[in-house]
Amino acid sequence: MQQAIEAWLARSSCALWNSKTRPTSLRELMQARTWGTGHSSWCGFAAASRKGSLMTDRISAVGLDAPKAASTKTKEHTTTAIGGSLRSLESLRILAALLVVCAHLSPYKIPVLGQFFGANRFLGSIGVDLFFVISGVVIGLSTVRAVTGTMDSPLRNFLVARIFRIFPLYWVVTAISIALLWQRGRPLPAWDELLHSLTLIPRLDNGQYVDPIVAIGWTLQFEIFFYSLCALGILARSKYLPIIAAIALSAASFAFDGYYLNPILLEFAGGYAFALYLANQKQPIGQIGFPLATVLVVASTALFLFAATGRDAGYPPAFDLMQAPRMMIAFGDAYIPRWLAWGLPAFIIVVVALRLENSLSWRLASLGKYTYSVYLCHTFAISAALILARRFGQEEIMVAVLPICLFLIAGFTCWTIEQPMIKAGKHLTKRLRAATPSP
């Protein structure tokens, strides 16, 4: 009889948590664990819906799975203030990628997009700074999870996830770019140039840092460097080391030259700082009213667009050429450091979006998975759209053709290269975990 009652309670808890009344806060969750046999009710909650996890989704979103074993022993302070899968950041990621696409449209006669988000009025390159802040938040949450959680070999899992996430598609795009340049009569790259490009290690040429073969790879160089700081934090079991290192390297740029002695690291540090804040919150962020939400969205968007009216100053003559390019933004004759001119507005809009995570629907979040493919492959899509438009004799129709080319190419690379490689990384992590003897 007792066993039958316990089984009925377990089924009832599963049914309840699959309904709209499943626990939404840590307090309700801990109370709910007292139902039935404890372990059965915890499993019922975990199986009810992926929305029930407060941390697993944001780890999975960056390619680092939370361990399935010992889930009941995970430290409570790894719980964040936001439930779900960070749909706000997924939406911002695809918007940031589309801004970068628009930044490369100014040479063409494209209505609206090229006119407003090319190099003429609002510079879409600010999308890169949005990426850096978002990366600080998402990778920061992964780092906190790895440092404070109970998973086996967190550093190995982190590195495998990052390598399989970034490099395979980047290598394919690099190979295609080399082939296309060679077809157009350009010489093949020298071995040192190829090696630096494939490893995303900065390269000096005549005293000036140059971009990888895939020019937008310069942003991945900073991403990989930030990952290395987080890896050091995981190795040292210190969730504060990455942000301290980023701030220290930024400060050192005032006294020393170096590619990574760069204040743009403050953009990652800002996102990481907010990740630390989220990881220390025990209660989920509640909804806010429509009037306040409207004010926050309008104000942050206006600031972001105003910042985008600045132009990328490249290598200003007044500044040392040993420093990385694109780090000064010009507003008229005034030069403002990029981390301040573009990084601060990007940070504000990310914070506002996270504050509104549970207040808006974030319908673009479903496109977030295509962000990296859109970002890396958009130059191919622009070329394809331009060829098609010129065959019809009008570049203006690129405004209709480009979205089709973009999402066909990005969708293909996402599902044939990017997603399979992410799954391969997860599979490798599981195999390594299974092969590692228990302590």
Q: Output 14-20 pairs: Cβ under 8 A, ≥24 positions apart.
A: 14/44, 14/47, 14/48, 17/44, 17/45, 17/48, 17/49, 17/52, 18/48, 18/49
Q: Region 143-156: what's the mean pLDDT?
A: 90
| pLDDT of res. 322 | 53
Among 168-182, 256-270, 425-439, the minimum mean pLDDT is found in 425-439
pTM of the predicted model over 0.95: no
Nearest to 85 by CA among 105, 56, 107: 56
pLDDT for residue 105 is more than 90: no
268 in a domain, yes or no?
yes
Position with higher pLDDT, 71 vs 214: 214
| pLDDT of res. 409 | 97
Instruction: Place 2 in a pLDDT band, splitting at 50, 70 and 90.
Output: very low
- Tokens 């840590």 appear where? 26
CB distance 161 to 64 below 8 Å: yes
Position with higher pLDDT, 237 vs 305: 237
pLDDT for residue 56 is more than 80: no
pLDDT for residue 54 is more than 90: no
Angle formed by the axes of helices 154-183 and 419-435, nearest 10°: 150
Angle formed by the axes of helices 154-183 and 217-235, nearest 10°: 170
CB distance 235 to 156 below 8 Å: no
Position with higher pLDDT, 216 vs 68: 216
68 in a domain, yes or no?
yes
Residue 171 structure tokens: 């290598």
3-class secondary structure, 232: helix
pLDDT for residue 120 is more than 70: no
Tens of pLDDT, residue by residue over 314-363, are 666 666 545 677 788 888 888 888 999 999 999 999 999 998 888 888 99
> Per-residue DSSP letters for 329-363?
EEETTEEEEHIIIIIHHHHHHHHHHHHTTTTS--G
Residue 243 structure tokens: 């942000």
pLDDT for residue 217 is more than 90: yes
**Kind of pairing, strands 208-210 and 334-337?**
unpaired
pLDDT for residue 380 is more than 60: yes
Among 6-10, 113-117, 177-181, 435-439, the minimum mean pLDDT is found in 6-10
Q: How far apart are CA 277 and CA 137, in angstroms?
A: 10
Tens of pLDDT, residue by residue over 59-80, are 333 333 333 333 333 333 334 5
Q: Region 130-152: what's the mean pLDDT?
A: 93
Report the Cα 216 to chain-centroid distance in Å.
Answer: 15
Contacts of 239 (CB under 8 A, 6+ apart): 143, 144, 147, 148, 233, 276, 279
- Tokens 């022993």 appear where? 73
Position with higher pLDDT, 378 vs 80: 378
378 in a domain, yes or no?
yes
Q: How far apart are CA 52 and CA 56, in angstroms?
A: 9
Rounded alpha-carbon distances, angstroms, from residue 311 to 105, 146, 219: 15, 39, 18
Residue 274 structure tokens: 């907010």
- Tokens 């059965």 appear where? 40
| pLDDT of res. 16 | 37
CB distance 16 to 42 below 8 Å: no
CB distance 219 to 264 below 8 Å: no
| pLDDT of res. 135 | 97
CB distance 269 to 243 below 8 Å: yes
| pLDDT of res. 178 | 96
Tens of pLDDT, residue by residue over 382-404, are 999 999 988 888 878 888 899 99
Q: Region 164-182: what's the mean pLDDT?
A: 97
Percent of the chain predicted with pLDDT > 90: 49
Cβ count within 10 A of residue 110: 25
Q: How far apart are CA 177 and CA 183, in angstroms?
A: 10
242 in a domain, yes or no?
yes
| pLDDT of res. 288 | 77
Q: Region 200-205: what's the mean pLDDT?
A: 91
Nearest to 371 by CA among 195, 164, 135, 122: 135
Count of domains for the chain: 1
Average pLDDT, the chain: 80
Q: How far apart are CA 280 and CA 167, in angstroms?
A: 32
Q: Which domain holds residue 250?
A: 55-434
Q: How far apart are CA 267 and CA 133, in angstroms?
A: 5
78 in a domain, yes or no?
yes
| pLDDT of res. 18 | 40
Position with higher pLDDT, 312 vs 144: 144
305 φ, ψ to 5°? -70, -35
Q: How far apart are CA 341 and CA 347, in angstroms?
A: 11
282 in a domain, yes or no?
yes
206 in a domain, yes or no?
yes
Cβ count within 10 A of residue 393: 7
| pLDDT of res. 119 | 57
50 in a domain, yes or no?
no
